[in-house]
Amino acid sequence: MDRESTLENGGVSRRTLLAGAATGLTVATSGCVRQVRSVVNRDTVDHLSVSIATVPADGDRESVQIANLLADNLETVGIDASVNLLAEEEFLRAILVNHDFDLYVGRHPGGTDPDFLYETLHSVYADEPGWQNPFGFTSMTFDDLLERQRVLEGDRRRDVIERIADSVAAEQPFVPVCVPDENRLVREDRFDDWDDHLATRLGYLGLEPLDGDGELRGIITDVRPTQNLNPLSVEYRNRGTIVNFVYDSLGTVAGDEVRPWLASSWEWNGSAATVTIRDDVQWHDGEPLTAADVRFTYRLLEDTSLGDSDVPAPSPRYRGQSSIVDSNAIEVHDERTLTIPMTGSQNVRERAFTVPILPKHVWTERTGGATVPGLPVEQATTTAVVAENVPPIGSGPFQFVDRTGRESILLERFDEHFSRADDELPEATVERFRVAVHPGSPSAIEAIESGSADVTISTLEAYSVDEVTESESVRLLESSSQMFYHVGFNVRNAPFSNPYFRRVVARLLDKERIVDELFGGHASPVATPLAGEWVPDDLEWDGDDPSVPFFGADGQLDESAARTAFEEAGFRYDDDGKLLARY
């Protein structure tokens, strides 16, 4: 109001000016007003203050320690940082569903094929809930590369993936910190043949019982599977090991390859697969499993409302896999065969066979919007995504019997499962599979060593691995790991939208020391989210991060180097040494 009248006065002054009176003074005044306006109309720039979301030490002791280290280093370089502890499901809901975070420290499920970066970073997923692009990262160049690696094969794909890896390392939409060793403890006096990966269903099939007891006793250190068994729930699943006992997928991961499982075979015709489902497959409730269930599953993953909602409601899990499939063009030929059109090269396409197949007769009823009387619910929230799904009706080798919240889950062998009739396939050799929740790895180790359990399904936490006493009957199993610890940025908001800023923050992390001290050496520091043969030569770990090396040495942060780097990235400090930022 005041400003307008001043301007009006200015206008009057100009007329007066034209009249030729009191010239010098008015000109000076109007210039002054303009200057005042341009001074006061600048927003004040605030001290940057950030919150780092992570989970409490129960169940994942390292994340909160990485978060504390990062917070300390951020404080040192003049950024107010606080750590925000959230229960695992609350944490995942905050970062993956509501995108309500600045930074977070957590575990990423990773992936065997580099195509997992497609859902992790493609712009199209920036607004979707789930592990697909929780960072909100958008880049046209990137999208183009991600799409190209899907369709290319051999060396040409490798080249593109190398470029993707280099760009990820340069842009740091998230900071991969380290890959923890996957250690589990098994007892070998009751069961033998622990040779498949224990994060997959095959790990628990084909075991050789030694003393005739029909019960396998597993331990998890996570209460969530006792509360919710929905394969589509992103808040309650890490890798879905438990739900994968109950559900089958067309193919199952065995080492680096996808092997036929629920499908007896698939044939490629161009990029479309004609899939044949095994004979006489049943759901746990006795209904027959048909090709229609398979088509239904892919359509449900694409849109859990099956087109009923105004906005599509894609599944927060298996999004990358379902994006390979053109679900609306799936053709069902008969009860057992169907043709699934897909995009991408064969390695990528076979990922699509790893999704759990869901029974149409159970999940059709879950396509409606979830409601809570009296509370507003986000539009694209269907019952399918939020249902607890207890009891789960699957077709897998084990069927659900009972659960006790926060304590245990009891499964029993599904005698009608196709693996029982096929000698080629590993089958469930135990009648019952009891999964008990333990509060932490030390108590899990004690249970295995004292003989009251056979296997730790959850991996042992790094700090507890050295406590293990191996014996004739107790063996520590190390398996390959694809999961990695990382620091995620919410790049939707300044200053994290600035890659130069993210790079400097990444350089506050001493990954080598984190691995040595927090993980006791039971992890490997990494510079890229890709694993194994896919790591480009220039991103191999060589004592420090080749792209974002730590500021300083031996865990000692070089404060002035970090501050200079922020200044070089265009940020300023105030007199108190606090970093200023518009956000």
Partner 1 sequence: MLAQLLAQVAAVVGVLLAISIGVFVGQSRLSTTRVEWRSRVRDAAPIAVVLVLVLLFNRTARETLPSLSWSIGWNLTSTFYEIEGQTVLLFQEYATPELTAYFSYVYVYGYVFVLIFPVVAYFALSDTRPLRELLTAYTLNYTLGLLCYVLVIAYGPRNWIPDLVETTMLYNQYPQYQELTGEVNHNTNVFPSLHTSLSATVAMFAYRTRDVYPKWVPVATLLAASVAVSTMYLAIHWAIDVTAGLCLGAISVVLSRRLVGRWSLSEEFDDWWPSLRRE
Cα–Cα dist 205/57, whole Å: 32
Per the structure block, which two tokens stand in for 131? 């592990």
Exactly one of 446, 466, 470, 567 binds partner 1 (CB under 8 A); that residue is 446
Site string for partner 1, 203-222 (x = CB under 8 A): --------------------
Exactly one of 57, 468, 569, 580 binds partner 1 (CB under 8 A); that residue is 57
- Residue 78 CB burial class (10 angstroms; 0-12, 13-18, ≥19): buried
Exactly one of 443, 556, 560, 564 binds partner 1 (CB under 8 A); that residue is 443
What is the SS3 assignment for 400?
Answer: strand
Exactly one of 7, 33, 45, 86 binds partner 1 (CB under 8 A); that residue is 86
Going by C-alpha positions, the residue among 352, 358, 351 that lies closest to residue 246 is: 358
Per-residue buried b or exposed e for 295-305, using 16+ beta carbons within 10 Å of the residue's own CB: bbbbbbbbbbb
Site string for partner 1, 451-480 (x = CB under 8 A): -x----------x-----------------
Regarding 82 and contact with partner 1 (CB under 8 A), the answer is: yes
Which window, 77-85, 240-248, 260-268, 548-556, contacts partner 1 (CB under 8 A)? 77-85
Sorted by sequence, the CB contacts under 8 Å of residue 546 that are 6+ apart come out as 169, 527, 538, 539, 540
Per-residue buried b or exposed e for 307-343, using 16+ beta carbons within 10 Å of the residue's own CB: eebeeebbbbbbbbbbbbbebeebebeeebebbbbbe
Report, in Å, the least distance between residue 434 CB and partner 1: 13
Q: How many residues are given for the chain?
A: 583
Regarding 369 and contact with partner 1 (CB under 8 A), the answer is: no
Exactly one of 7, 17, 33, 85 binds partner 1 (CB under 8 A); that residue is 85
Report, in Å, the least distance between residue 86 CB and partner 1: 7
Q: What sign has the CA pseudo-torsion 339, 343, 348, 352?
A: negative
Number of residues that bind partner 1 (CB under 8 A): 27
Q: Which residue has the tokens 């690696």?
A: 149
Going by C-alpha positions, the residue among 492, 548, 494, 486 that lies closest to residue 135 is: 492
Regarding 98 and contact with partner 1 (CB under 8 A), the answer is: no
Cβ proximity to partner 1: between 315 and 408 the closer is: 408
Regarding 345 and contact with partner 1 (CB under 8 A), the answer is: no
Cβ proximity to partner 1: between 230 and 419 the closer is: 230
Between residue 544 and residue 563, which ones bind partner 1 under the rule CB under 8 A?
A: none
Report, in Å, the least distance between residue 445 CB and partner 1: 8
Cβ proximity to partner 1: between 95 and 530 the closer is: 95
Per DSSP, helices labelled H in 80-182 are 88-92, 116-121, 140-151, 154-171
Report, in Å, the least distance between residue 113 CB and partner 1: 34
Cα–Cα dist 335/307, whole Å: 24
Report, in Å, the least distance between residue 68 CB and partner 1: 7
Q: What sign has the CA pseudo-torsion 444, 445, 447, 452?
A: positive
Which window, 76-84, 259-267, 479-487, 541-549, contacts partner 1 (CB under 8 A)? 76-84
Residues at the site binding partner 1, with contacts judged by CB under 8 A: 56-58, 61, 64-65, 68, 82-87, 90, 405-406, 438-440, 442-443, 445-447, 452, 463, 518
